[in-house]
Amino acid sequence: MKKNIYPFTAIVGQDKIKKALILNAINPSIGGVLIKGDRGTGKTTAVRALADLLPKIEVVKNSPFNVDKNDYLEYEIYKIDNKNPKDDVELDKVPMKVVELPLGATEDRIIGSLDIEKALHDGIKALEPGILAKANRNILYIDEINLLDDNLVDILLDAAAYGVNIIEREGISISHPSEFILVGTMNPEEGELRGQLSDRIGLEIEVKGIKNIEEKITIMKRREEFERNHEEFNHKFREEQVKLQNRIIRAIGLLDEVEISGTFLEIIARITLEHGSEGHRSDISILKTSKTIAAFNDHKEVNDEDLKEAIELVLREDKFLSEKIQDIKRDVENRTSK
């Protein structure tokens, strides 16, 4: 683990942010996380710490698309290197990265474009991969996401929804995988988020500065200790880091086995209706999130607490939630027993 990255398990408070990030690491199909809050509340620290915490991934060595061997062959990325599918492929294990989207980024920089230097000097058409290539299997971090241009939002939404980016430039056409953990941050005082984007991000967390005196003191002490000696501070939290990393790895392996009862599906449907959610995105987000929480808790079946936490994270609703869940359960049980 990098010595200059603050350990994820050393972060004080902000439990909902940490949990939302972990759940998206286990199951990126949740759709990412939007973190609303003031500057200086540890949002960026948490994102970078998560990338450092997660296990390394296997990639085709020196591939700008960060692909594994299967995707390298399936998307015919070998053609870019003037190779064929039978050539030996050299693999490497690399840490996950946080790929930042600059606020002033252009469409070409995000999607990818023609390599002008090679075109001018060598007279050949070559591709310059964009941010979506670098973000594949990594964390795509967008600070001040609410200030992003609408057309760039549409590009990101399409890539996030389909997991694929298509580059068509000057006679070159190629598609490559672009599956990433989307993390957006914003300060609500600087403008509202476009509704289309807000609806497509799985979890939305509002963060405020910590008010607890003891926690504030702990934050100051830990930060000072970290800055004084990164290596010693990281070693202090290494056991907790490894323990959490192993728990995430187990959850990823368990996720496909997790089941949810028909009763809980009805609870989700009725609560989202009561909440006034439009469409079906909230239902699907709660379903995915509850199963991911169950996997993280080492459950093969979603239980009441897994479901309750998922509803709180997706709908930001906790008022009388336990009572609502129990009332609907009793109603379903009474109806099916007749």
Say how many Å lie between the first and final Cα of the chain, rounded.
Answer: 58
Residue the block writes with tokens 């006034």: 276
H helices of 115-212, where?
A: 116-121, 131-135, 150-162, 195-200
At 176, which helix (H) or strand (E)? strand 172-177
Would you state the structure tokens that stand for residue 249, as one six-digit string? 């790895």
- DSSP class per residue in 43-54: HHHHHHHHHHHS
Q: Find the catalytic residue in 281, 316, 330, 335.
A: 281
Residue type, 308: K
The three-state secondary structure class of 99 is strand
- Dihedral sign from CA coordinates of 207, 209, 210, 216: positive
Annotation says 281 is catalytic: yes
Pairing outcome for strands 57-60 and 91-94 = antiparallel
- Nearest to 184, CA basis, from 193, 176, 175: 193
Q: What is the dihedral of CA 42, 199, 140, 234, to 10 degrees?
A: 30
Beta strand 112-114 with 127-129: parallel, antiparallel or unpaired?
A: antiparallel
Closest CA to 20 of 11, 31, 5: 31
* 51: region left, alpha or beta (phi > 0 left; psi from -120 to 50 alpha): alpha
Q: Distance between CA atoms of 35 and 17, rounded to whole angstroms?
A: 7
Residue 252: which of 93, 68, 24 has the closest Cα?
A: 24
DSSP 186-225: E-GGG-PPPHHHHHHSSEEEEE-----HHHHHHHHHHHHH
Residues serving a catalytic function are 281
